[in-house]
Each structure stands twice: as C-alpha cells, then as structure tokens.
Amino acid sequence: MEQSIRSNAESLAFKDVTVHYNNAKGWAAQDTEMRDTNRMKEIQFKASHTLLLLFFLWIFLLHAIGIYFFTKGFLLTRLVLDHKSQCDSPPIELQQSSPSLFADGCWHPKTFDKAVIIIIDALRYDFTVPFSGETHHYHNALKVLDETARQTPEKAFLLPFIADPPTTTLQRLKGLTTGTLPTFIDAGSNFAGTAIEEDNLVAQLRGAGKTMVHLGDDTWHSLFPGYFDADLTHAYDSFNVWDLHTVDNGVTEHLLPLLNPRNSSKWDIIFGHYLGVDHAGHRYGPDHLATNAKLREMDTVLRKVIVLLDEKTLLVVMGDHGMDVKGDHGGESDDEIEAALWMYSKRGVFGRGHNGFMVPPATAKERPVGQIDLVPTLSLLLGMPIPFNNLGAPIAEAFTGPGKPDWQNLASVNALAAAQISNYQREYSQARGLTEEIFLYPQAFWKDGLLIWREALKSGRHNDRFKPAFESFSKYQQETLKICRSLWARFDIPSMLEGIAILMCAVVILGTYARSSRPMTLELIPIYLAQMTMFGVLSAVFCSALTLLVFGTGIVNAALLGLAAGGISGFTYASVNLPQIFTLPFPRSLWGWLAVVLTLSQSVGYASNSYTIWEDEIMLCFLSTFALIAFASSMRQEFFIERILGIFQAGIFLVLTRLASLSRLCREEQMPFCKSTYYASSTSSTSAPWQLLIPLVSATLLPAVIKIYYQTTRSYQRSATIWIGFAARLGLLGSAIYWVLDAADDNDWLVVDKSILRTVKIVIARLILGVSLVVGTTMFLWSNPCISIQVTPEVNGSADGEVAPKPKSVKVFGYANVHGTRYFLLVVSWLLILTLLQKPMGSGAIGILTIQILALLEIIDTNNLSQSAIGPVVLGLLGSFHFFKTGHQATLSSIQWESAFVALKTIRYPWSPLLVVLNTFGAQILTTVAVPLIALWKQPPKKSRLLGDVAKALATLLLYYAIINLATTMWAGWLRRHLMLYRIFSPRFMTGAAVLLIVDLIGISVGIGSLRWNFTSIAEVFGWN
Amino acid sequence: MTETATEARPRKLVPISQSISVLPTDTARIYNYIHPVLILSLYYLCFPSLVADPVSTLKKSIAPLAHLQIIYCVVCLPPSKGSSTQPTPSTTPKKKKVQFARPAAKVPATLASRIVPALFSFLLSLSLSAPLLTVVLILFGAPLTTHFWHNLLCATHISLLGVLPLFYVHGVDGRMWREISGACLPFDEVWGGVVGSVVGAWLGAIPIPLDWDREWQKWPVTIVTGTYLGWFVFRFAGEYLLKGKRIEFD
C-alpha cells in the first residue's frame, strides 16, 4: 500500500515540461511577440482583479449600511433631557408655609456634610455576607460590612444592590450618578467613555461648590472631565486586568491620609474606585486565592477607614456590578447584577423600623434595592437636589431613623423623589410627544399620595398617618419606572425593516453572483460594477437632495439609504439584462443540498434560544455530518489511492472535529449540562499547567503536519522550507514560551522581578507579531512559487554512435499544487498571529483548525468539489465552530479583554481593540484567509478562470456568513419583546454582525487582495494563460 | 491547454449491487408487513420505561428486538450466498454486469441454511457494527467520558435494526461493503431501513437542546426514537417509493 501511495505521489510530484521547453527553443523569433502577449494578459488580470476588489467592496458597503440601519432602530435609545434640577426650586414644598430653601440643604435638610464613596468594582453581594456550608474562596473574606450592620444597626446597613444591565463599569457609573437606566447602545463604547451630559449627582455637587476628590479607576475622568480637584485626585488605568494591585494600592495610599482630621478641610466628597476584586475575577475567577486575598485586603482597608471617619461624614461602599462564575460581567445574569451596598455613619442615623429586619439579608433575593436608588438617597442625605432624570427612590433605611420609624421623614423624601419623577415624566412626554394616558396608572398613586400627605400635614404631625403616603409615593415610583423601562425598550421599526431589507438584498446579490453566474464570474463584474455605482451614486444624490429640501435634516442617513437602494437596483438591472447567463441558484447535487440544508438549519435555529445556546454542539454535529458524507463519497472512488486518501482525510477531519470539541467554555445557560475545560476550572480564567503543553505540542507537530501536506506534491521547496520549516516553528515556539511566562507571572513561579518578566513577554509577543506580519507579508509578496526545477543536461551522442543523443530535459517539482502551496504561506503567517493571541487551549484549537483546513482541501480535491458550495460553507462552519473552541460564546462577558495586553502594556488605539478582535474572531479570520485555497488547491498553474473561481468561493463564504447574520438580525428583531432578548438574541445578533463585517474586510483585503501577487508570481514562471 | 487535458479526474466506482426483494412465499409477503408493526409496537410498549430508565430498558429490549429481526431475516429475506459462489469483484472490476444480490427467485432449500447466516449476522452486528456505531455516536458529540452504556446500547439498537439484515442479505463480501460504506446501494426494504435508522438517529438529536424540561429529552431517548421511526418510514419508502434508486452525490 505504501508503495503505491508513493508511486502516486511521485506521479503528482513533478511534471516533465521538456517538450514545451524544446519547442520553445524554436520560438526564439516569436519571443518578443510572446512577451507582448504576456504583458497584455498581465494588465488584463490586474484590471479585472481591481474590479473584483471594488465589487466586493460594494458587498461590504451593503452589509455595513444594512447593519447600521437595523442597529439604529434596534439598540434602544433614550432621549436625554437637558434639564437640570435647581437647588432653589424644589419640585414640591415640604412645608405648608414656605421658606422653600432649608438652611442646611436644598430640598430637604441634609444629614451629612461630607461623604466618602468607595466603589469596589464587581463586589457581589454574596462576597459580603457570612456563609456557612461549603465555602468558596470568595466567602467570608470581607466581613466588616456584615459585622457592622449586624452589631450596630443604627450606624450601618447592608443591602443587595441590583444593577441594571449592561453590567459594564462605564454603564454602571452612568446609572449610579444619574439615577436613570442605561441604554444598550452604550455597551459598545466601553473602550472610550464619553462625558455625561445629562443632570447628575457629581455635576450637582460641583455646582454647589463642593471639592471632590477622585481616586482609582480613570473611567470617571472620561465621564466627568475636570470635575475633580486636580491636586488631590489620582487616577489609574482601568483596563489592565493583569495588574491586581497598582490601582488599589494607589487608592489606599491616597485615601487614608485624606481622612486624617488635619486634611479634612481639604475636601467634601471622595470617590474611591477599587478595581482589584474585579481584576482578580477577570484574571483568576472568583473562586481563587487571589480573589480571597483581595477581599481580605478590602476588609482591612475599610476597617482603617472606619476608624478615621468623623461624625459628619457618610461612608458608602458598593459594588457597581457582580461577576459570573468565571469572574466576568457585562450581561444580565443574576450573579452579574447582584452587587452590594453598605452605608456607614458614626452618628447612628440609620434604622430598620419600616420593615423590622435587623440583620442584612442572607441572599441577594431578599429586600434588594436598585442601583438607581443611590442617587436620590445620596442627594437628599447631602442636601443636594435630586438630578432631573432620576427614576430611583430614596432608600428607606437611610431616612427612617433609629428606633421607631419616622414615617413623616420617609413620606417627605419620597414625596420629593416622586415629585421630581413626575416633573421628569411630564417633560419627557412632551419632548417625545407621548400621550398622558401612558402614565395614567401610576399618576393615580401620585395623586392619592399627595392627598394623604397633605391631610397628614394638616392633622398636626401624627407620625403614623404618613405611612400610607409613603407607600403611595413608593408605588408611584415603582410603576413609573416600569413604564419607563418598557418605553425605552421601544424600537424604531421602520429603520429596522430598512436594515433587514438591505441585508436581504445583499444576500440575494451574493447568492446570484456566487451560485448562478458560473462560469462567467469574472466577466460580469464590470457590468455589475458600472450599473451599481451609477445607480448608487445617482440615487444617493437624489435621496439626500430630496431630504434636504423636504426635511432639512438626516441627510447622511438618506444618502446611505439611497446608495444602498441604488446599488441593489443597479445589480438587478444589470442581471435582468443578462438573462441568458443565469440559471437558478438551486443546488444540483447532494453536496449543494448539504450546503444549503446546513446553512439554513443553522439560521432557523437562531429563532430558538435553546439552539442559540447550544450552537457549539450543533456545529460539531454538522461538521461530523459533512465528514461522514465525505467518507462515503471517498468510498465511491474507483481507484485505491484516491479512495484511501479521501477516507484518510475524512477520518482526520472527523476525529479532529471531536478532539477540538473537548475545548469548551460554557455559557451560563448551558449549566449544568456543560463543563468548561477552556480554563483550569469552570470558576477560573487562567490556564492549568498541563494546558501550557498544548502550544508546545502545536509548535512541534503543526509545521511537520503542514510539511507532509506539501510533500504529497513535492511542493516543500524554496520559501516553504524557510517559512514553514523555520519561521513557523520558531513563531509557534515563541507563542508557547509566551504563555508559559504568562502562567509563571500569574502563579509566581519565578523569583524574577515582575516588570522584567512582563517586558520579556511583551518583547516576545511583538517579535512574533512583527515577524509574521511584516516579514510574512514581504515574503508573500516577493516569494517565488514553491517549485523546484530540475534540468538534466543535454547528452550528446558520442562520435561512434554508441550512445543515442539525449536532449535536455526539464522537470518541475511541486507543479501539481503551485497556486495552493504558495498561497498557503500567507495562511501560515496568519496562523502565527492568531495562535499568539489565543490562550493555550485556544492555540490548540487554532492548530487543529489549520489541519482541518488542509484535510478539507484534500477532500475537496479528491472528490472534485472545488466548484461546489460545500467547500466554502464547511469553511464557514469551521469558523463558527472554532469561535467557540477558542473560548468564546456569543455573550459580552466571554470577550477576552485581557488579550489587548498581550503585546501592549497600556491601552493604545487602534491596536488594543484590534488585538481583542483578532482574539475573538480568530477562527473566522483564519478560515476567511484560507478560502481562496478552495479554488486554488492543486489546480494547474495556467487553468483559465481561476480568479473567477476564487471570487466565487469567497462570495459563497460571505454568503454563508451573510445568511447567518440576516437570520440572527431578523430573529432579534422579531423576538424583540422576548424575555431573553438581552441575554441571548441581542448578543448573537451583535456577534453575527461583527463577524460578517470582519469577514468581509479580511476577505477583500487578504483573500482577494493578495491574489494579485500570487498569480503574478506564478505567471512569471509559467506565463499567463 | 495541454495541462488540463492531462488532468485525469478520479473515476467513480460503478455500483454493481442490485436491490433485493422479499422471498416469493406468502408467509414472507405477509410477515414483511407484520414485522415493522411488531417492531414499532415493541418500541411503543417500551417507551415509558425507556424514559424512566434508558439503560436497563435498552438492555432488556435487545433480546426481543434481536429475535424479531432474526425471524424477519429468516422468513422474508434472501440470505447472502457467501462470497465463495461469487466472482471476486476486485479481480474483475470492469465487469459491470455481475450480479450479487439476486432477484428473489428461489427460496433457499433448508431452514438451517437461513437460520445459520441469520445468527451470524446477529453476532456480526453485535460485535462489529455496534462498537463502530458507538464510536460514530461519540464523534457526533455523544458524551465521551460518561454515559458509556447509553451510547453502546443506543448503537446496538441502531445496529440490530439497520445493520443486521444488511449482513444477512449481503454477507461479508468486501466489494459489497465498499458499496455499502459508499452508500451506493439501490433502495429496497433493507437499505431503506439502514438509511432510515441513520437519518432518524440524526434527526433525533434535534429536540435534545430545547428547554422544554421533558423527561424524554434525555440522552439517548430521542436518538432511539428517531432510529425506530426513521427505520419504519424509510423501509417502506425503500420498498415502494424509492425502490431501485441510488443516492447520488454529484
């Protein structure tokens, strides 16, 4: 068997071109003519290549415009009112006869002069309460909050503090200072916070002339630029999650001296923002010694702060959100939204009289307060007006007073908050043109409350009479909040429909182009392009002009819409006028049907939350199905070699798929049926020591395996030997070393200075990125094809005629796969980049993906499927599958933000987001880079229409992603009232949209763009066809 | 374009298998209808306990299923003649008119000549195809480290239902099994049953992820259900609707 394989490989290995060569000798006279023809063909190729690029840019444009319009309508928006609350005009007079301004407070007498507000990022509620039973590292570490609240209930209280999703720090800070609900569209801007324009507590404090100090997370400075005292304030970079201590040490170092009585006149309000707990969660997960140590540190710091605190100062400690089992956050799962709130004062003004619960709730499900409730509470405690957009209610524990409940005070503060909400609601209705009926139901509570309250006031301050008033006001606040939530879940349906229509048309265009214009894929491009551009530009100009004349605003949107509509009509016009070329794009073989069925069933699945949740397992099943059918198809080969080769590759593909599937990162909804293996444990976000071996194994095996695939056609020549045999080996080894050093840094394995370790790490990472990007690209641009030409010299017949004269013979080794092997060098460059950016488990997945791509190419070749849709679709499935296998899920919290620091010490634009993108969508990017190989693998150098075939393959891959994106978009739009919209459908839509745009860009720039050099280099040797 | 001219595309295997029919006796014709009903009734009766305790139910139902299948083979199907009587196909691949499975012309003489191959088929499907199908199930995402018996028993059921008659009718001839693994047999009740059990098992995975919290969604109840239903539907489709047709890939 081995013998026959070898002989077959031998026959593939070289091509004897002696005849051509000898013929060519006679053509010396025609040499110039030939050169001219070649030159002309080269120009022709370059022209059609450029046009092809432009055509795909059009596709990208349509996708981008479609996604833009849908997103505009889908991601919720809230109209921000510019009104500011004024100190001297309270929304309601607290006393019958007005001195409306209290001497010691704006709307209500203040309780405290000063405040220390400490945010412990990601302080989950269960970190703060005692826990008996099976404890984790995060239990019983931070005890001071519960202890004080339990022992001195008049001095402190501890409550669950429920965040409104999205639970990212930026959004939470907005919510915590404005007292209103964040909207989803902000979630994407976590990398670059922007200043808060609307009325908020910090602005009110600044307006009242308070001196504010900020220590810690620098997100505050992007939200409140210039608000803080420049001398005392110390801000620290917030995104370096690898660093657990710099921010915390900095805050503590500056906080404690400020609390010293000597310094107490220097400030009024201190905002301290600790990040250590959050970073420990991100880096190690909550159930880890590092988290425990961090919580204990917080405990110590808070005890020191308590000692230093004076009677006039309020101390607030809170988490801005929680963390999930892995220590990440962003979504709306229970663990992510359940933070803790603790208030402390030495004066003993707090109480529990209104409900009688003296100890802190055991779980976050009991007696929670909303995070929006903080703003009215703090405002009134500090004698500030409640910010205009606030929707929260004062927290009762802070106003009820020690001992018997002070119902009158509770009713007063709730009356103020409710009156403010009532004002806001009126203004908002007016600004949005809402009818009064919407708020009719809560309005009744407001009126009831007012009536009872006035009665109680008149009747001479009988305390208990105020209780029903308090209850009515609370009810009013709760009901209004409910309505506002639903109002801001209001979608712009027309815009969404426009987006969906554009995306749908783009799918039709891609489908028509990819699947029914064969074999004219290239020749039709100029016609399409001309019509699309002409129609598009005309229509864009027309639409924007019309909008300008009629409405005067919204020109950009109109122009975009016009451009898209024009492009679509242009394509339709062009294709209707070319009827003879088209056949309906229906599949004509089992393979075609398989491609369609797999794509469509995946798309239909997104309508169900279950199938979206279990997408990773479904991809496994689909890929195995393909491999099994490929196995059967290979069985049908008549010849032994092809049969064995096909079976072998299908088997490799099948086994590797299952092997890769062992790498899992479970999303919360998959529990308890899923066990995460991506990290050391399901509650950690670091790799286990044994996982560090994976990159090493990958570095050893992968180049060797690639070499084997090259050697079947004797293509392991020239650049391939250097790039695969040397550079790839070194690069992969470098990645392996990088991750070992990273683990050493994590676990303190080495007794080396951490900063040295980090510098070494970053140097290695930059070297790998630099070499693969710069050297890899240069090599790709200038490299010769991976062939070796063997010339046997002419043997002259000897004089006596004993030896027959033998003409010179020329053999080309590696001839059978000239295009494929040269192009694959580019895939190797990308492989190096993407491997470095994945965690150890992910680099294994990327390695497996590379071999799977090669196996797929061989399957495609032995079964003669290079024209079928199945090749690109399986590549697409591989991309989707390995997205999960590289430790991602379609959720915000699974984004591996720390990958931004693989090659950088601090956030730098645009590199940091770029690194995160390469980490997140690595699998899809690698498969897109590889898609031209479907058409190029093992094709003869001068095959005609090869460029068109590549375009077709790429268009088919884009079609796959476009259909997935269209499906997720449509389902997200359709299920916009679904309970799980934000948990499941919305993140999946965002993933799909991001993937489509990235794949478009990579496909155009790398997939199509690089072909220019591939073809030119091969034509230099073999001539143009 | 001399290059393309020399490109010899791989040639495809020309299938020589033929569809089979039930034996030309009245008992065979009648039992051919009774059998699927019996199998499905057996499945229907087992279903509640299958949901309650999959492993023991699957284990217990192997015996009745195997008996039914063996009886079916003996009563209705023409046994394989054994490779000795056939020309070895590998030596003469070009002769396309050689026939393996015969039209159901003759009823084999003795009962023993039918029972023995049926028993052999049972043993083969138990020892050969059941472990293989277990591996395939795992490759498709069945639990690797847990649920070993679930997987093995599920594969055994697929094997007994689909593959046992295949062994009985086509024997263990190499060329024949190449065609079988290439899925290029013509449809008949046996091949229809095979395709049906595989397709059914595949489709059976569909309800598993749904969050309906039903007891029957647990592994491998839906797979087994899919197998039985798929087998039932496709064996009739193979016998009538698709008779003689082959699955074409290209």
pLDDT in tens, B169-188: 999 888 899 999 999 999 99
Phi and psi torsions of A111, nearest 5°: -100, -35
Report the pLDDT value the prediction gives residue A487, as an integer from 0 to 100: 76
Give me the pLDDT at residue B52, please.
94
- Per the CB < 8 Å rule, is A617 touching B141? yes
Q: Cβ separation of B141 and A620 shorter than 8 Å? A: yes
Residue A15 pLDDT more than 90? no
Q: Is A429 exposed, middle or buried (0-12, 13-18, 19+ CB in 10 A)?
A: middle
> Could A618 and B209 be called an inter-chain contact, meaning their C-beta atoms sit closer than 8 Å?
yes
**What confidence score (pLDDT) does residue A187 get?**
39
How many Å is the Cα radius of gyration of chain B? 19
B222, pLDDT greater than 60: yes
Distance of CA A415 to the CA centre of its chain: 43
CB-based contact B202:A624 (threshold 8 Å): no
User: Looking at the predicted structure, is the pLDDT value of residue A978 above 80?
Assistant: no
| Max CA distance (Å), chain A | 140
The rounded distance, in Å, linking the Cα atoms of A133 and A362 is 13
**CATH class of the domain at A114-405:** alpha beta
A636: chain B residues, CB-CB within 8 Å:
12-13, 182, 184, 249
Quote the pLDDT of residue A461.
Answer: 63
Joined tokens for residue A708: 């084997």
**For residue B113, what pLDDT is reported?**
85
Roughly what angle, to the nearest 10 degrees, separates helices A276-284 and A246-259?
Answer: 160
Which chain A residue has its CA at the smallest distance from B9's CA?
A: A864
pLDDT of residue A579: 65
Q: Please check whether residue B183 touches A, CB under 8 A.
A: yes
Average pLDDT in the A885-911 region? 88
Distance of residue B148 Cα from the nearest chain A Cα, in angstroms: 16
B132 contacts chain A (CB < 8 A): no
B10 interfaces chain A, CB cutoff of 8 Å: yes
- Residue B249 has its nearest CB partner, among A589, A628, A654, at A589
Assess whether pLDDT exceeds 60 at residue A588: yes
**Beta-bridge mates of residue A159:** A341
Say what the pLDDT of residue A642 is: 86
Name which of A323-332, A812-821, B23-32, B88-97 the model is least confident about.
B88-97
Give the residue from chain A lying closest to B140, CA to CA. Answer: A621
Residue A332 pLDDT exceeds 80: no
Give the per-residue pLDDT at A77. Answer: 67
Residue A961's pLDDT band (cuts 50, 70, 90): very high
Q: Give residue A191's pLDDT.
A: 39
Q: What is the pLDDT of residues A250-291, one digit of tens each?
A: 999 999 999 998 888 899 999 999 999 998 888 888 888 889
Query: Cβ B209–A613 below 8 Å, yes or no?
Result: yes
Confidence (pLDDT) at A694: 96
Residue B9: pLDDT band (50, 70, 90) is low
Taking alpha carbons only, the member of A448, A427, A425 closest to residue A438 is A425
Alpha carbons A746 and A164: distance in angstroms, whole number = 32
Mean pLDDT of chain A: 87
Between chain A and chain B, how many beta carbons pairs sit less than 8 Å apart?
A: 90
* Beta carbons of B205 and A613 less than 8 Å apart: no
User: Does the pLDDT value for residue A331 go beyond 70?
Assistant: yes
Cβ neighbourhood burial of A308 (10 Å; 0-12, 13-18, 19+): middle
**Distance in angstroms (rounded) separating the CA atoms of residues A975 and A685:** 32
The DSSP letter of residue A806 is B
Query: Measured between CB atoms, does B1 come within 8 Å of chain A?
Result: yes
Most trustworthy range by pLDDT among A350-354, A781-785, B233-237: B233-237
Across A968-982, average pLDDT: 84
Helix residue ranges, H only, chain B: 2-6, 26-52, 54-60, 62-76, 112-124, 130-139, 148-158, 164-170, 174-181, 189-204, 221-236
From CA A386, how far away is CA A368, in angstroms rounded?
A: 21
CA-CA-CA-CA torsion for A665, A667, A668, A670, nearest 10 degrees?
A: -90
Taking the alpha carbons at both ends of chain B, their separation in whole angstroms is: 25
Q: Among A476-490, A721-735, A882-896, B31-45, which is the least confidently predicted range?
A: A476-490
Domain ranges of chain A: 2-73+495-524+578-590+598-676+689-796+803-1022, 114-405
**pLDDT(A97) > 50:** no
Chain A residues contacting B via beta carbons under 8 Å? 589-591, 608-611, 613-614, 617-618, 620-621, 624-625, 628-629, 631-633, 635-639, 642, 654-655, 657-658, 661-662, 862-864, 940-944, 1025
Residue A4's identity, in one-letter code, is S
Residue A79 exposed, middle or buried by CB count within 10 Å (0-12, 13-18, 19+): exposed
B22, two tokens: 């039930």
Q: What is the mean pLDDT of residues B46-56?
A: 94
**pLDDT tens per residue, range A527-549:** 899 999 999 999 999 999 999 88
State the pLDDT confidence band at B93, using cuts at 50, 70 and 90: very low
Q: Taking 60 as the threshold, does the pLDDT of residue B249 lie above it?
A: yes
pLDDT at A813: 87
Å between A503 CA and nearest CA of chain B:
28
Question: What would the pLDDT profile of A182-235 be if each residue is shown by its tens digit?
Answer: 765 543 333 344 677 788 999 999 988 899 999 998 888 878 888 899 888 998
CA–CA–CA angle A256, A257, A262 (5° rounding):
130
Percent of chain B with pLDDT over 90: 68
- The least confident of A17-26, A674-683, B137-146 is A17-26
Mean of pLDDT values over A869-894: 94
Of A15-29, A43-57, A202-216, A634-648, the range with the lowest mean pLDDT is: A15-29
Q: Give percent of chain A with pLDDT exceeding 70.
A: 92
Among A639, A654, A1025, select the one facing B10 at the smallest CB separation.
A639
